[in-house]
């Protein structure tokens, strides 16, 4: 089963609101443009209030 694209996900999630949980996108292909901090794709994700995980980030459950 394919996972949704980041574009589909932010369309579904919309703009992050105050009480929304923090969501960081993970499991990215090395060629995904959101890996580039200066890309328009990354700027779009961040403009919605969501984030992209970085190498060595940890997530507490």
Taking only the tens place, the pLDDT of each residue in 30-40 is 899 999 999 99
- Tally the domains of the chain: 1
In a domain, 60, yes or no: no
For residue 46, the 8-state DSSP code is H
In a domain, 57, yes or no: no
What is the structure's pLDDT at 21? 95
The whole-chain average pLDDT of the chain stands at 94
Confidence category of residue 44, pLDDT binned at 50, 70, 90:
very high
- Supply the range of the domain harboring residue 22: 6-52
Pairing between strand 24-25 and 51-52? parallel
What is the structure's pLDDT at 2? 83
What is the structure's pLDDT at 61? 84
In a domain, 22, yes or no: yes
Angle (nearest 5°) at CA 54 between 37 and 30? 75
In a domain, 61, yes or no: no
In a domain, 59, yes or no: no
Gap between the Cα atoms of 30 and 36, Å rounded = 10
In a domain, 58, yes or no: no
């Amino acid at each position: 089963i394919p996972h949704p694209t980041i574009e589909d996900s932010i369309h579904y999630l919309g703009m992050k609101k105050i009480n929304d949980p923090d969501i960081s996108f993970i499991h990215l292909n090395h060629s995904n443009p959101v890996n580039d901090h200066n890309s328009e794709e990354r700027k779009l994700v961040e403009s919605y209030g969501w984030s992209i995980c970085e190498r060595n980030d940890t997530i507490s459950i």
